[in-house]
Chain A
Amino acid sequence: NAGVMQNPRHLVRRRGQEARLRCSPMKGHSHVYWYRQLPEEGLKFMVYLQKENIIDESGMPKERFSAEFPKEGPSILRIQQVVRGDSAAYFCASSPIEAEGAFFGQGTRLTVV
């Protein structure tokens, strides 16, 4: 059973481009969470999804950011028209329903130049 897979591990984008971050949860996990982390800071909640549903997106900026978890395929975090301030590590985590803990991917480190 493979762990949570995120790709790419590193992503460089120029200001104004789009960034697409992918996350494949562990097999059997129906809950996906996205977190953002700046250097030396904590994990900031962005969005929580189940298959085909956004359950809580209270941590997502209202503009330029979107997330989906389709019936088939990975969860996607999409950032349009990236700015330097979007540079961060983006972690995806998955868990089965009502689990004790969540399992994290290795993260995608986005650098906007």
Chain B
Amino acid sequence: GQSLEQPSEVTAVEGAIVQINCTYQTSGFYGLSWYQQHDGGAPTFLSYNGLDGLEETGRFSSFLSRSDSYGYLLLQELQMKDSASYFCAVRDPANQKVTFGTGTKLQVIP
């Protein structure tokens, strides 16, 4: 089976940098994905790490360490609109099932 753990809440100041961690235990593993969900909205795909290391997309970066079963999402130059829930997710290569982490609610304060 798959299980992914994230901190439940994080608060950060506008303009700052925040890191959201994800640790996972999986029976199979393609890579780690990250999704953003605003209150009342649908999750939207943010990034994917298939290999170890850092992937950068604008203000957002995502990191993966397969040996540590660990990844993180890094948000830079925080904006108020970044206040949302962030979920990590893995896909089981055996059956393509996508399992989501517990989610981290990020609150950006002025």
Contacts and interface: CB of A to CB of B under 8 A. Distances in A.
Interface of B: 30-31, 33, 35, 41-45, 48, 50, 87, 89, 95-103, 105
Contacts of B50: 100
Contact of B95 (A35, A48, A93, A101): A48
25 contacts: A31-B96, A33-B97, A35-B100, A42-B87, A42-B102, A45-B98, A48-B95, A48-B96, A48-B98, A55-B96, A91-B42, A91-B43, A95-B96, A98-B96, A100-B31, A100-B45, A101-B33, A101-B45, A101-B48, A102-B33, A102-B89, A102-B98, A103-B45, A104-B42, A105-B42
Contacts of B31: 100
A45 B97 contact: yes
Contacts of A101: 33, 35, 45, 48
A65 to B, nearest CB: 17
A41 B101 CA distance: 11
Contacts of A107: 42
Given A42-B87, A43-B103, A100-B31, A95 B98 contact: yes
B44 A104 contact: yes
Contacts of B87: 42-43
A97 interface: yes
Contacts of A41: 103
B99 A100 contact: no
B66 to A, nearest CB: 16
A48 B1 CA distance: 15
A106 interface: yes
A45 B42 contact: no
B103 to A, nearest CB: 4
A93 B44 CA distance: 10
Given A56-B95, A100-B31, A101-B33, A45 B100 contact: yes
